[in-house]
Structure formats: C-alpha cells, structure tokens
Amino acid sequence: MVLVQIIDTIIATDDVEQLHNLISVIHDYFGKTYNARVVVRFPAAFDNKIDMNNPKLKNNVSTFMVANMSDLKYDNDDLVQYDHEQYVLVTDKQAILVYANQIMIIMTTEAFWAKDWDEEEAYNRILSASAVAMIMDKVNKVPVGFGRIFMMRNNNNNEEETLGYLSDVAVNIQHQNKGLGRVIVNYLVSVYIGQNASQRPTNGSICLICGTKGSGAISAPKLYRSLGFEHLDNIGNRIAILTSDKYYFRRSLQR
C-alpha cells in the first residue's frame, strides 16, 4: 500500500479532467514503482465536492473502508470486554519485536495477504508502524493476535490533517470469537484519535482494506462498521479519497 496525502493544489474541485490527470500520474508512478495499491487523500476542503460518480474519478477497490476523524468511535481499554485472566494487550513496540517470528506464524496462517511473510518481513512491519498492538496469551505465553497502524500528520493552513492506515490485523483461529480483534482495533483507533477524544482534530481520515476471504471475512466488516468505518462505495463523495489497485493485482496475477 502506498499512501499519498495532497496538502494543497490549485486544481478546482469541479475540474474533472485536471483531477483525473493528477490522479492518473500519481497512481501510475507509485503503482508501477512499488507494484502496490495506491491511495490518494485530497485536502479536507475537497470533501463533499468531488464528483465521485464520474467514471474518471470512480474508485475501483471494493474492499476499501474509510472513516473521518469525527466518525470514529472507540471505548476506553478497560471497557472492552475480553478474558483478562487469559489475555493481555501489549503495545510496547520493543516488547513486540521480540515475538516477530511468532507474529509471522500468525499472519501466514490467518491472513491470506501475508502468506509469503518471513520473520524479517514481520520484524520490519512492526518496526515501521506508527503504533502496534499484540494480544498475548498469558496462560501459554505466546502471542495470538496482532495489528498495526501507520499515520501521516501534515499542517494545511495551520490545521493539522492526519491520514491513517490500519493494517495487518489478525487473530489466531483458536482464539477468535473472544473479542480480541476488537481489542486490537479499538486500541489502534484510540491511538489515531489521540488521548483526549474531546479535543480530537476535525480534519483527518483513516482507511483500511477489509478482507473478503479467510476466517474473518464475515466478522471483520461488522467490527469496522461498529467503530465508524464504511466502505468507500457507500459514502459518495463525503471523503475525498481515490484508490487504485491496477498494478497491485497485476503483480498478484504474476505469482
């Protein structure tokens, strides 16, 4: 995934041709360079103004979910119900790095997009994240769940705009349906919002790719919607984000 946050542009919100040209250049350059899905976030001033129904601006990633800062919901950690006797939430990155190999096993087993991970990949993903969360089984002394978030913060006209990407959320199948996925995602959303939710910034959005197969295909969308996320196809032009997976799937088909 490549995230591109546009801080400012002279292109008018209704200039479809210029917007299309800009998006095409960004998608083609980053998509080809990194063989990746590309997400472009326009300034918040573009929200509710871009004609997303125009074929030239239409998103083509059906699994993409997004939420504005103001839409997000989360509970204090102590209000999220799970078995505290057996499990504990670990958020210290250095402590989690120690378990990179076990996390790699969880991801390659439970996450269809991570089948080719090795220990180095897991280590690098933990290290590069803005924040990480791991569920530890205290009884068996092994990690059973993982997730991470990446955040970009920029100032636009003295207003902070934050773009977040929530990824690599997975729970060992033997420990699913116990609320552990919610523990992970709830914590990462709280990190994105900040410690004082009453003073959260108004300009910000967070996105994710929701899997359509695997053990969490049914439960994951319900979890994300309960926290304020919606599929991009369902929100019209309310959030000015445009996506492309043209080169990402081309890479996948070559494997």
Residue 119's H or E segment, with its range, is: helix 119-128
Residue 76: its pLDDT value, please? 77
Q: Which tens digits make up the pLDDT trace of 102-118?
A: 999 999 999 888 999 99
Q: What is the pLDDT of residue 119?
A: 96
Of 38-47, 146-155, 245-254, which range is least confident? 245-254
pLDDT per position as a tens digit, 145-165: 999 999 988 766 666 778 999
Cα separation values, 221 from 87, 211, 245, Å: 24, 8, 20
Q: What is the pLDDT of residue 211?
A: 74
Could you identify the residue written with the tokens 């959303």? Answer: 189
pLDDT at 250 over 70: no
- pLDDT over threshold 80, residue 216: no
Q: Which CATH number applies to 63-231? A: 3.40.630.30
Angle at the Cα of 73 from the Cα atoms of 70 and 75, rounded to 5 degrees: 140
Q: What is the largest CA-CA distance in the chain?
A: 59
In the chain, CATH 3.40.630.30 sits at 63-231
- What does pTM read for this prediction? 0.89
Average of pLDDT values for 84-88? 94
Residue 210: predicted pLDDT: 87
Mean of the pLDDT values across residues 175-201? 82
Share of the chain above pLDDT 90, in %: 60
